[in-house]
Amino acid sequence: MLTTEELVASLKSVLPAEQVSINETIREQHGKDESYHTPSMPDVVVFPASTEEVIKIMKLASQYKVPVVPFGRGTSLEGHVIPYDHGITIDFSLMNKVLEVRENDFLVRVQPGVTRTQLNKELKKYGLFFSVDPGADATLGGMAATNASGTTAVRYGVMRDQVRDLEVVLADGTVIHTGNLAEKSSSGLHLNGLFVGSEGTLGCFTELTLRVYGIPEYVMAARASFPSVQDAVSAVVGILQAGIPVARVELVDEPSMKQVNLFNDTNYKEQPTLFMEFHGNEAGLKQDVEFMKEIVSDYHCEGIEYETDQAALNQLWEARHNLAYAFIHGYPGKKMMTTDVCVPISDLGAAIDNARAALNKLDLPGGIVGHVGDGNFHALIMIDMNNPEEIRKSEEFNEVIVIDALERGGTCTGEHGVGVGKQKYQEREHGQALQVMERIKLALDPENLLNPNKLIKVKRELF
Amino acid sequence: MLTTEELVASLKSVLPAEQVSINETIREQHGKDESYHTPSMPDVVVFPASTEEVIKIMKLASQYKVPVVPFGRGTSLEGHVIPYDHGITIDFSLMNKVLEVRENDFLVRVQPGVTRTQLNKELKKYGLFFSVDPGADATLGGMAATNASGTTAVRYGVMRDQVRDLEVVLADGTVIHTGNLAEKSSSGLHLNGLFVGSEGTLGCFTELTLRVYGIPEYVMAARASFPSVQDAVSAVVGILQAGIPVARVELVDEPSMKQVNLFNDTNYKEQPTLFMEFHGNEAGLKQDVEFMKEIVSDYHCEGIEYETDQAALNQLWEARHNLAYAFIHGYPGKKMMTTDVCVPISDLGAAIDNARAALNKLDLPGGIVGHVGDGNFHALIMIDMNNPEEIRKSEEFNEVIVIDALERGGTCTGEHGVGVGKQKYQEREHGQALQVMERIKLALDPENLLNPNKLIKVKRELF
């Protein structure tokens, strides 16, 4: 084992000195994410400016068997970027260029440190947009690493659906491309899909080629209030079954609506509410919205309001996106824990009922929100990390939600990823398939250097 | 090594005798696909009726190190199912049940031997359909194995996009599930994506859970003729850029239109033609079609005809689907070779130009057709397999097309897969990523028993 001094000296021999930091504040910033998981600091943080520099870092790490954690903006929610084994954290903030917009191919090539709002600002010039919208202004490298999704997945798909190619630096410094520029391919094994969602455990992403979309001709949003969460969920199932191509459909329950109003100074009805958005041509969209109105009224919708101008649309979605911050703001000193299960849509109502009953039983304050068009919902609960009883209750709550989702054929995480928080459910969810994942990890990173013990905890005896 | 007699005796000890065949005709039927690739017979063909029987077969194969080839209906086009290493062919035709339709979840669970027309017949009762349409009435297991697509991928995606879960029997007889029933998941490595398109080299699929869609409210088809292929392709690019959500858009060139008319007794204009289909609500679709009309007229469209009734729609798409058979019928005694590159859409016109020039230069008779909304096109050429010069020329032609596509950032196969026919281009296309694929194959099938030397030819020294 190298000492930290020796490691830093080695890194400085291959990188400009100012791109290698052991500053305490910087290490602290890279020792946590936005979750409640316990922080842990890296020994050193490096800021590569090119793929070549990432290769040099990985070759050194590989030579000296030093763990490496890739880091975007630290907005992960399950401890993905926390370096519990210390070593090197690679911060991609200097690799933040939009390299190429292939307007006619609906493709864009970016460095991993580009954030989604930065990309959308650039794409707007071309009448294009990038669809994946997890709320946080994460980097695209990080979003690919966790297979992020968010409000628009119901229409445009998740991060994995947008990735056409990744440039990846593997554990030993080899550079590969996982895909190509064609819209579809049956050539070779599907490495795009495998690397997206691998949470930094198989390689460092140094370039991404992503699918983008034309800004729709016409956009309309609606806010519909219901007497109960069940009615709202049933309305969503009805909308999907009618084949209405809704672009976003978000459920915000009553306690969460209260928090929205408090934080945003809005005056929305404090009832279970669906925030919806429709994209299309004007004629088609008007027919869709008429049909949607009939469906929601069948489920006792007590008020529906429409927005078509951009400012009102922005306010509506900002209110939704700020919800997590609204809870954090409302419970000073507490940390947020978020569940993230995804279930078959026909089970969604029962799964949400079960979550609300568990919150009540455990007497935990919290809201339920969700990307209900996908069957994905979150219970947001605020925990005092100095109160062991609250921590215990929140863990019990998480477990109740996850086991229920797995019994319904769902998954423990629809979009946040595994990190360290969902590891304990991996064997239960994947069964023998977990060993296949372990064998793949072992085949590609035999020394377990890349974000070790995240996503998959490979048994030591296999190394 | 077991003798064939010993192998058959072992198989009969775990399967009913009538499910184990060494009949010459049956072995011959399992020694070829629909392509020009040289046949080669298995030693024995087995017909399992359940996952349990597949497990028993794989355990035997694994114990005695006998190669295994999974077989659907033999409609592959690159020699995928030809057992060049002999051994056992597993024919899935007895496993042909639609097990469950989860109407409200838009999901269906099937056995691998179910064909796509069989599935669609069942789904129609529920107002649902399965979107992937490769032309041939392949089995769903086979379609998943090659990541098939076809005419509707431009709107609904390819086979990989529809697979929510696979039950897979691995080389050693272990059974895994690669996914779950939720619409999205960030849990574990993405095994769904990895196994789809693995061409039988990683495991045998014994059950598939697939995404299905509501039959659209309104469907309209159009046939538009153009003075040149270039105009037709430019019109497609224009339609896509306008954001018109076309459900199918197929190019059929002039020689192919002649073959269509000859074979189908139709009287279509013998000009480069786009076959298009639009799905949506009536109002939106009418606005889309009006817009489409403006765009095609900008590209010198010389005639456009619409169909909305089901019989006319069926005739139109049958004509398109019968094209390969129309060529085979028109050149008795010859075998068909089909190129299958996919390029970025902005390169499609130039790539097709290049293909036509190569056909002319080599004096090869053939047609060009394609799923042009994806940038995927096929040149169909007819070869006399007893004429070495024709074989040489067709191989030269294939290579010209593939190298051109790779130089444009495309892929050697958009939908047919690698099999044995596209193996020689894998290193050129994937570079160092090919070694990653080899390591994965080796990790999951260390004895190289599953469809050996297809897709990836793992270097012997690695075993």
- 3-state helix/strand/coil string of B204-235: EEEEEEEECEECCCEEEEEEEECCCHHHHHHH
The answer on B105 and B86 residing in a single domain is no
The answer on A202 and A229 residing in a single domain is no
Q: Is the pLDDT of residue B102 over 70?
A: yes
pLDDT in tens, B354-397: 999 999 999 998 899 999 999 999 999 999 999 999 999 999 99
The answer on A106 and A189 residing in a single domain is yes
Interface pTM (ipTM) of the complex? 0.96
| Domain final residue, candidates B41, B67, B91 | B91
Strand stretches in A242-322, DSSP E: 246-252, 273-280, 303-307
pLDDT in tens, B12-26: 999 999 999 999 999
**Mean pLDDT, rounded, for A302-325:** 85
Quick one: which of B285, B147, B173 has its CA closest to A189?
B147
What residues have CB less than 8 Å from A46, skipping those under 6 apart?
Answer: A11, A15, A19, A20, A21, A57, A88, A89, A90, A91
**Structure confidence at residue A453 as a pLDDT band (50, 70, 90):** very high
The answer on A135 and A112 residing in a single domain is yes
Say what the pLDDT of residue A10 is.
Answer: 97
**CB atoms closer than 10 angstroms to residue A47:** 21
User: Encoding tokens for residue B135?
Assistant: 């032309």
Specify if A313 maps to a domain: yes
**Mean pLDDT, rounded, for A69-85:** 97
**Mean pLDDT, rounded, for A51-77:** 97
Residues of B in contact with A76 (CB under 8 A): none
Say what the pLDDT of residue B365 is.
Answer: 86
Residues of A in contact with B417 (CB under 8 A): 186-187
**Mean pLDDT, rounded, for A250-262:** 92
B25, burial (CB in 10 Å: exposed 0-12, middle 13-18, buried 19+): exposed
Q: Is the pLDDT of residue A463 over 70?
A: no
Say what the pLDDT of residue B396 is.
Answer: 96
Q: Is the pLDDT of residue A461 over 70?
A: no
Assign residue A31 the CATH number of its domain: 3.30.43.10
The answer on B437 and B418 residing in a single domain is no
Interface probe for B, chosen from A164, A166, A189, A249 (most Cβ of B below 10 Å), is A189
Which of A153, A176, A287 is the closest to B431 by Cβ? Answer: A176
Specify if A224 maps to a domain: yes
Contact B183 A375 (CB under 8 A): yes
Q: Is A34 left (phi over 0), alpha (psi -120 to 50) or beta?
A: alpha
State the residue for tokens 């699918």: A211
The answer on B188 and B82 residing in a single domain is no
Contact B408 A432 (CB under 8 A): no
**Structure confidence at residue A265 as a pLDDT band (50, 70, 90):** confident
Residue-range definition of the domain harbouring residue A447: 426-462
The answer on B81 and B9 residing in a single domain is yes
**Structure confidence at residue A362 as a pLDDT band (50, 70, 90):** very high
Query: Is A403 in CB contact (< 8 Å) with chain B?
Result: no
pLDDT in tens, A339-348: 999 999 999 9
Say what the pLDDT of residue B76 is.
Answer: 95
**Structure confidence at residue B316 as a pLDDT band (50, 70, 90):** confident
Q: Determine which of A371-380, B30-39, B48-57, B328-337 has the lowest per-residue pLDDT on average.
A: B328-337
Provide the terminal-to-terminal Cα distance of chain A, rounded to the nearest Å. 17
d(CA B419, CA B241): 34
**Structure confidence at residue A276 as a pLDDT band (50, 70, 90):** very high
**Structure confidence at residue B9 as a pLDDT band (50, 70, 90):** very high
Assign residue A196 the CATH number of its domain: 3.30.465.10
Contact A375 B182 (CB under 8 A): yes
Q: Determine which of A312-321, B241-250, B335-344 has the lowest per-residue pLDDT on average.
A: A312-321
| Domain final residue, candidates A292, A324, A356 | A324
Specify if A42 maps to a domain: yes
d(CA B59, CA B174): 9
Give the DSSP H or E segment for B388: helix B388-407
Into how many domains does chain B fold? 5
Beta bridge partners of A218: A280
Q: Is the pLDDT of residue A253 over 80?
A: yes
What residues have CB less than 8 Å from A265, skipping those under 6 apart?
Answer: none
Contact A193 B160 (CB under 8 A): yes
Contact A436 B185 (CB under 8 A): no
Residues 7-66 of A with CB under 8 A from B: none
Residues of A in contact with B422 (CB under 8 A): 187
Please report the number of interchain residue pairs, chain A to chain B, with beta-carbon separation below 8 angstroms.
286
Query: Is A184 in CB contact (< 8 Å) with chain B?
Result: yes
Buried b / exposed e along B341-364 (16+ C-beta atoms within 10 A): bbbbbbbbbebbebbbebbeebeb
pLDDT in tens, A200-222: 999 999 999 999 999 998 999 99
**CB atoms closer than 10 angstroms to residue B311:** 8
A5, burial (CB in 10 Å: exposed 0-12, middle 13-18, buried 19+): exposed
d(CA B23, CA B45): 9
Say what the pLDDT of residue B39 is.
Answer: 96
Say what the pLDDT of residue A82 is.
Answer: 98
The answer on A226 and A190 residing in a single domain is no
**For A283, nearest residue in chain B (alpha carbons):** B284
The answer on B304 and B227 residing in a single domain is yes
Contact B441 A153 (CB under 8 A): no
Quick one: which of A338, A340, A334 has its CA closest to A324?
A338
The answer on A109 and A80 residing in a single domain is no
Q: Measure A97 CA to nearest chain B CA, in Å.
A: 21
Specify if A376 maps to a domain: yes
Say what the pLDDT of residue B187 is.
Answer: 98
Assign residue A251 the CATH number of its domain: 3.30.70.2190
Report whether A316 contacts A310 (CB < 8 A).
Answer: no
Which DSSP symbol is given to B456? -
Q: Is the pLDDT of residue B461 over 70?
A: no
The answer on A412 and A348 residing in a single domain is yes
What percentage of chain B exceeds 90 in pLDDT?
86
Q: Tell me which of B231 and A309 has the higher pLDDT.
A: B231
Specify if A48 maps to a domain: yes
Which DSSP symbol is given to A138? -
Residues of B in contact with A283 (CB under 8 A): 283-284, 286-287
| Domain final residue, candidates A214, A231, A253 | A214
The answer on B198 and B104 residing in a single domain is yes
**Structure confidence at residue A266 as a pLDDT band (50, 70, 90):** confident
pLDDT in tens, A317-339: 888 888 888 888 888 889 889 99
Specify if A421 maps to a domain: no
Q: Measure B27 CA to nearest chain A CA, in Å.
A: 28
Assign residue A362 the CATH number of its domain: 3.30.70.2740
